[in-house]
Amino acid sequence: MDILRAGPAEHPLLRHLYPLYLHDLSEFGVEYVLDEQGLWRPDFLPTWLSRSPDVHPLLLRHEERTVGFAFVGEAPFPYMTAGRDFRMSEFFILRGERRRGLGRLAARAIFDRFRGVWEVSQLPGNRSAIAFWRSVIAEYTGGAFEDARVDGSPAQVFDSRRPPARAQGR
């Protein structure tokens, strides 16, 4: 799994992927709606495509093809809980690439890349995302994470600086 920081050359690709992600989220009754031109609103993509040092737009690639993206916020990113270093704000794997372990690989690679205290939250109605993240984080940390609530949503909090059990040869 390759994790590529998306620069200006990759912004058109993210502009095409982002509406697919918002379409998936619309299933859970979130605030995203189509406007009169068929564009999803609100549109937070400009924040992620800015050159701000506290945003990390990442493309997820497997076998030289893009399979998804992740948007990671880094403190002092405005939507962070105090005391947290990183937030997995958006994470998307294309439907045709799901259930192949790619999301799990990507998540672990991102946690390894950005070391610190993480917050990963999910929409309350997205049971598959909640199960996915709890499983991935439990495996990554050897169970050393905290279930939390962030703005009323389920979340997991953990420190990626602690070496996971898998890294110690177990």
Q: If pLDDT is split at 50, 70 and 90, which confidence band does 155 have?
A: very high
Mean pLDDT to the nearest integer, 73-81: 92
Residue range 4-23: average pLDDT? Answer: 96
User: What is the predicted pLDDT for the residue at 130?
Assistant: 97
- The SS3 call for residue 161 is coil
Q: Please state whether the predicted TM-score (pTM) of the whole model is above 0.85.
A: yes
- Residue pair 80/25 in contact (Cβ under 8 Å)? The answer is no
- Give SS3 for 68: strand
The predicted-structure confidence for 83-134, as pLDDT tens digits, reads as follows 999 999 999 999 999 999 999 999 999 999 999 999 999 999 999 999 999 9
Tokens read off for 18: 């982002």
Q: Which two tokens stand for residue 52?
A: 């701000």
Burial per residue of 56-80, b for 16 or more beta-carbon CB atoms within 10 angstroms, e otherwise: bbbbbbbeeebbbbbbbbbbebeeb
Structure tokens, 129: 């995302």
Reply yes or no on domain 2-168 having CATH 1.25.40.10.
no
